[in-house]
Chains A and B, each alone.
Chain A
Amino acid sequence: MLGSGIINGLIVTAKNFVGSYHDPKRMVTVQYPEERAKLPENYRNFPFLITENATDPMGTLRCVACQICEKECPPQCIYIEKSKDKKPDATGKPQLYPAVFAIDTSVCMSCQICVEVCPFDAIKMDQVFEVAATDRFTGLLLDREQLAKPNSYFHEIHPTDAAEVDTRLATERQAAEEKAKAAAAAKAAAAAKAAAPKAAVKPAAEGGPTA
């Protein structure tokens, strides 16, 4: 009959009205600044740089300033200057590091391509959404000090992803160590044979991703 739908609708909203007072599960909103809804793990907005050690963020950046992300970035919001010198990375291998690493978040379109192309797992997507600034040139242009966040933070916001990255890095590091050992053994063997220059080139060429 005409009107029965209206009555049903009125009953639904009346149930909502009564239920909202005694059933907290019904509530679809939270009181934002004090309470926060848990963000979904796959939520992303702007990139950040991962450091191995929170106490020395600039010394332990995973980034080696290879500039792949800078070239791939569709809106060209990343700016990198390579360092002149080399610093030892987490595995103790000397690597370049970014002397300047800046991301203009007013330009960034959160496409995650920088994360996809990074061979060092050095750049990941952040979940910080409170990015309001009073000046878009200084407030939204983030430098490497602002971008650097420890690996533990990455574990907090993207646990699955971070665990996967960590195990991969660990196995690669182990493989590299074994290879280095094997190379050292081979080198020793070669040295024993007194044919030294032949084996020394090989491990340096393949050590890349473990850095």
Chain B
Amino acid sequence: MIIAAIDSYLEVAPLAWRDAVVQWCPEPTQWLVHHLITIVAILAVFGTLFAFTPLAERKLLGRLQNRLGPNRSGLPWWQNGPKLWGLTQPFADAVKALTKEDIVPAAADKLLHFLAPVLIVAFSLLTFAVLPFGRHLVPVGLDAALLYFFAAGSATELAIFMAGWASRNKYSLLAAMRALAQVISYELPLILSVVPIVLIAGTLSLQDIVLAQGFWTFGFLPHWFVFTPWGFAGFLLFLVSALAESNRSPFDLPEAESELIAGHLTEYSGFKYALFFMAEYFGLTALSGLGVTLFLGGWQAPCAFLQFIPSWLWFMGKVIGMLLLFIWIRGTLLRLRIDQLTRLAWQFMVPLTLINLGNAAFWSLTAGWTGPLQLVRWGVSLAIIVIPFVLLGRRLSAGRHPRTYRYAAS
């Protein structure tokens, strides 16, 4: 009883605190304060997450490569004090970014050059508005939240091209064109990998999609979409597309430093550079949040008896797990070439996502099958996606394996 009471209080605590503040404000400003608090809360939570994600990334990358990672930054004015495992690094980085000289190239389009980092952060923040962070925590409960998410998310590419164009630098422009080619190639599999969810859940509202996954078989087998054949395939396709959408390794071609210096960031320094960096991580976090919402049950607990933990904690935990997975992938895989990248998208990802859509259609048509027919349903669904995967994979890697090095001394 007590646990249940605490649970329900923790569940609504953020809302209760917000409402308490709103009540205290004069009537005409209440709607404004209501929304401002929501915005500030999102900025504070995900800003803090952003501050520590690069640190976690650097430390993890170090460990993944048998290094220690940053562990030096301690407290200011206390040289020999505790090192705190380098946890104060983000603050040092922030001070550094703020105090650095902001150089704008003489030939640059001053207005666009200034606008690009501002817009990219704004667009990447917009996507957070529709994510269901908890059972009761949905900043904006749109019916077409999924559409909104992709609309706002792909607008960041406009800002990337803006940055590349305004810099008046060939490397920036080339990188921006690459980014556009990449995002157009991967926007399609990203959205197509999500369509099966809409088909099964029958809604575009993210909160309703999460609610559709809120059941357990025997109390501990969650009905998350990732635990179905089409859902698992969709999740993997979504992961790959999300990596490409957020310009992360192994798809970080727009900033391939050996070819394009720093890509569209070449002419940015100081805090504007930090804004791009921030937008990149916001975009990654938002896509992680979307992946969690669509495939990993959103804020739902994995087991029925774990429901006493507040739903927003589950959501944040899953998002952090996804971020760690992305960092793990970054520490493992090598960067693709641009032709390999587009090839993968058009010859492999798009056909597979389309097949997966058919797979989801089969799954929804056979929803009534029970008993032994359930096994048939699983088998057919698995076959629908695994056989094309193997065949397409063979065709994609035909003649490319084992790799021969023509110009290297054997």
Contacts and interface: CB of A to CB of B under 8 A. Distances in A.
Interface of B is mostly: helix
A88 interface: no
A192 interface: no
Interface stretch (A15-23, A117-125, A148-156, A162-170): A15-23
Given A10-B329, A10-B332, A20 B393 contact: no
B98 to A, nearest CB: 27
B65 interface: yes
A10 B250 CA distance: 13
Nearest to A19: B66
B393 A2 contact: yes
B390 interface: yes
Interface residues of B, number: 20
B328 A10 contact: yes
Interface stretch (A24-32, A49-57, A62-70, A136-144): A24-32
Nearest to B389: A2
Contacts of B332: 6, 9-10, 12-13
Contacts of B328: 10, 13-14, 17
Contacts of B333: 6, 9
A6 B329 CA distance: 9
A133 interface: no
A28 B65 CA distance: 9
A13 B67 contact: no
B393 A1 contact: yes
A104 to B, nearest CB: 33
Contact of B66 (A6, A14, A20, A31): A20
Contacts of A17: 60, 63-64, 328
B40 to A, nearest CB: 36
A19 B65 CA distance: 10
A9 to B, nearest CB: 5
A197 interface: no
A29 B63 contact: no
A45 to B, nearest CB: 25
A3 B393 contact: yes
B398 to A, nearest CB: 11
Contact of A1 (B62, B66, B331, B390): B390
Nearest first, the 4 A-B pairs at minimum CB distance are A2-B393, A13-B64, A9-B332, A13-B332
15 contacts: A1-B393, A2-B389, A2-B393, A3-B393, A6-B333, A9-B332, A10-B329, A10-B332, A13-B65, A13-B331, A14-B328, A16-B65, A16-B66, A17-B63, A20-B68
